[in-house]
Amino acid sequence: MRHGLLLIDETGRIVLASGQTLHLLGSEEALISVGSSLRQVLYLVRDHAGDTWSQVRAQLPRSFVQPDSSRFEVTLRGHLLEVHLHPVAGGRWAVAFEDVTARRAAEAQAEEMARHDLLTGLPNRLLLRERLNEALGRLQRTGEACAVLLIDLDRFKPINDTLGHPMGDALLKKVADRLRSTVRVTDTVARIGGDEFVILQTGIRGASDTQILARRIVDLVGRTYMVEGQLLTIGASVGVALAPNDGEDADRLLKNADLALYRSKLDGRGTYRFFEPEMDARMQARRQLELDMRQALARREFYLHYQPQLQLEGNRLVGCEALIRWQHPVRGMVSPLDFIPLAEEIGLIVPIGEWVMRQACRDAATWPAPLSVAVNVSPAQFKSERLVEMVMSALSASGLPATRLEVEITEGVLLNESEKTLQTLHRLRELGVRVSMDDFGTGYSSLSYLRSFPFDKIKIDRSFVSDLSGKRDGEAIIRAIAGLGRSLGMTTVAEGVETADQLERIRAEGCTDVQGYLISKPISASEVFKFLTLDNPR
Ligand code: C2E
Ligand code: MG
Ligand code: MG
């Protein structure tokens, strides 16, 4: 019974009324029956619509004969009616009524739901933004300061992944409860992402108010949870931005809180950081580097240098290590130490590493056998499923036999997911590819990693070689690693050999191979050929 219809003739009289119309317009049916005028109907509406009468009148066509139509809403006895006036043939008018009370209520409810997170019932990003804008409006008017605390849960993802999403959801609800319990009613706790929450703290007197809250959050979220009989521990990293100092609009505040959050994660998580302007500068530099790096592949700004490796017995050149070089049109030469870590962090190392592998295999295929090429492979490349496939493809495309390819990995590769990584290493090994442990001695539990996979080669980090000149312990370490390599049947390469003196000592300690400026700096692919023709470089 939500629709009603009246037909009005050119003189303004009702000639037809559906039963629902009378029902919709209420009890004073007598007023509106066939024969009464539209004016009467509208008076009736006015009596119950208060101010909206002027709207009704304003929207009425000047004369009923004018072809026009209009729509307006009036409230009648607690019901919201939508009224449409349509001109019909012969100067007549159709007036359609619809009771939209329920629909509007549902719409309002949907609107409310659209502003909340279904899981926790907390305000979502949308409502947070509204509240933040309100708070910033108050700041403008009254000078009342506010703060944005961006909270990211530490170690939530592994719990979600290993114990399942229902557990993860239950945990998130508990976190939400704790956060809710620790703020004042005037503050807003919102959930804006999987494990990201924001607290909008209002009416603060100074940064210390916010600091107290930030500290409390880190402490509270970090306490053990009991979820379905299991004890779970997570942590919170918090980034804080204060208005007006760190920004006067919502976007800037959230962005600066995010920069501060990034900092607190870098500083070891489980802590809070306040935004500082230099965080922004550093981040922008990083973002620019990222953009440049993304373009570098397409613009062919990367190229490879090769550093010869010498077998001490017989002073024989056995292979070269491929080292990436980046010549940027404005930055100039960028060291791999400056861009590889970022490329690893953002996953760009996967395509870059693929390019290196393909190029290195192509170049090495032109060298005389059995000269091999060593390619550095990052932990992030091991995370991608395609590594073995990519190596096979690079080998077959270049025609380089697998036995002439070596991959250099650092201990970081074995640090996480070692089971899967070991499988990948074994598959590479089955192809005939050799595997070296790079920068040995700089990581963590080196010995257990050496035992976990039969490496072909251990590369002793150059810091121990440079220690040879000064401290005595460099010598002891090199001797120990060389001995280890001998008994495990692995080649030992001393990296970063720069002086004849270092070379002699390394030889004396029993290393099998050397690499370093003394033999050669990294050189271009074409220079490798020249190098080959030099008899016995050292
Ligand atoms: P790394 O694999 O340990 O490579 C050896 C580094 O030591 C190279 O630096 C090389 O130029 C340098 N070096 C060699 N001999 C000497 C010496 O006698 N004295 C001194 N002071 N340094 C020497 P580079 O080329 O700057 O590379 C640095 C690091 O960047 C590499 O360390 C490797 O971890 C990474 N890297 C380079 N190219 C690639 C690549 O294609 N992929 C990946 N994932 N990482 C790469
Ligand atoms: Mg290396
Ligand atoms: Mg190295």
DSSP one-letter string for 388-420: HHHHHHHHHHHT--GGGEEEEE-HHHHHSSHHH
The owner of tokens 């592994």 is: 158
Q: State the distance from the centre of ligand 3 to the C-alpha of 300, rounded, in angstroms.
A: 25
Of the candidates 189, 183, 214, 187, the residue with the CA atom closest to the CA atom of residue 203: 187
Residue 161's H or E segment, with its range, is: helix 156-163
For 135, residues 6+ apart whose C-beta sits below 8 A from its C-beta are 144, 146, 200, 202, 243
Report in angstroms the alpha-carbon separations of 333 from 324, 337, 441, 471: 11, 12, 29, 33
285 three-class SS: helix
Whole-number CA gyration radius for the chain: 37
The dihedral through the CA atoms of 166, 168, 171, 176 has a sign that is negative
Nearest CA to ligand 1 atom 22: 496
Probe ligand 1: pick from 350, 355, 373, 376, max atoms within 8 Å of CB? 376
Tokens for 31, please give them.
């007023």
Instruction: Tell which phi-psi region holds residue 300, choosing left (phi > 0), alpha (psi between -120 and 50) or beta.
Output: left
For 17, residues 6+ apart whose C-beta sits below 8 A from its C-beta are 4, 5, 6, 7, 32, 33, 34
Residue 109 neighbours by CB distance under 10 Å? 10
C-alpha to C-alpha distance for 206 and 404, rounded to whole angstroms: 65
* 389-394-398-399 Cα dihedral, nearest 10 degrees: -30
Helices (H), 299-445: 336-345, 349-365, 379-383, 387-398, 411-415, 418-431
Q: Do you know the residue count of the chain?
A: 538
Ligand nearest the Cα atom of residue 406: 2
315 pocket-lining for ligand 1 (C-beta < 6 Å):
no
Split the chain (538 residues) into runs of 10 and give each run's mean pLDDT.
79 77 62 66 58 51 49 74 79 83 90 92 96 96 96 94 93 97 96 96 94 97 94 96 95 96 91 94 90 94 97 94 96 95 93 97 95 96 91 98 97 78 94 95 73 91 85 83 93 96 93 96 91 61
C-alpha to C-alpha distance for 162 and 165, rounded to whole angstroms: 9
CB 28 within 8 A of CB 44: yes
438 pocket-lining for ligand 1 (C-beta < 6 Å):
yes
Angle at 130 between CA 124 and CA 132, to 5 degrees: 95
For 390, residues 6+ apart whose C-beta sits below 8 A from its C-beta are 354, 357
- CATH fourth-level superfamily of 4-106: PAS domain (3.30.450.20)
Q: What is the DSSP letter of 523?
A: B
For the chain, give every residue range classified as CATH 3.20.20.450: 299-533
Q: State the distance from the centre of ligand 2 to the C-alpha of 407, rounded, in angstroms.
A: 9
For the chain, give every residue range classified as CATH 3.30.450.20: 4-106
Q: What is the DSSP letter of 498?
A: -
C-alpha to C-alpha distance for 194 and 169, rounded to whole angstroms: 10
Nearest CA to ligand 1 atom 37: 323
C-alpha to C-alpha distance for 146 and 188, rounded to whole angstroms: 11
Alpha carbon 23 to its chain's center: 58
pTM of the predicted structure, to 2 decimals: 0.68
Residue 107 φ then ψ, to 5°? -65, -40
Residue 311 φ then ψ, to 5°? -85, 130
Q: State the distance from the centre of ligand 2 to the C-alpha of 513, rounded, in angstroms.
A: 14
Tokens for 489, please give them.
């049947």
pLDDT of residue 451: 81
Q: State the distance from the centre of ligand 2 to the C-alpha of 464, rounded, in angstroms.
A: 15
* Strand-pair partners of 513: 311, 493
Nearest CA to ligand 1 atom 27: 336
466 pocket-lining for ligand 1 (C-beta < 6 Å):
no
- CATH fourth-level superfamily of 116-275: Reverse transcriptase/Diguanylate cyclase domain (3.30.70.270)
CB 225 within 8 A of CB 115: no
324 pocket-lining for ligand 1 (C-beta < 6 Å):
yes
For the chain, give every residue range classified as CATH 3.30.70.270: 116-275
Residue 485 φ then ψ, to 5°? -60, -45
CB 310 within 8 A of CB 318: yes
336 pocket-lining for ligand 1 (C-beta < 6 Å):
yes
Angle at 183 between CA 178 and CA 189, to 5 degrees: 75
335 pocket-lining for ligand 1 (C-beta < 6 Å):
yes
Q: Give 299-533's CATH code, choosing from 3.40.50.11710, 1.20.1070.10, 3.30.43.10, 3.20.20.450.
A: 3.20.20.450
C-alpha to C-alpha distance for 473 and 182, rounded to whole angstroms: 54
The owner of tokens 């290590």 is: 321
Tokens for 411, please give them.
């201990």
Q: What is the DSSP letter of 37?
A: B
Angle at 210 between CA 209 and CA 211, to 5 degrees: 95
Instruction: Tell which phi-psi region holds residue 269, choosing left (phi > 0), alpha (psi between -120 and 50) or beta.
Output: left
Nearest CA to ligand 1 atom 2: 376
Of the candidates 438, 434, 431, the residue with the CA atom closest to the CA atom of residue 454: 434
Nearest CA to ligand 1 atom 4: 323
From the number of C-beta atoms within 10 Å of its C-beta (0-12, 13-18, 19+), residue 93 rates as: buried
495 three-class SS: coil
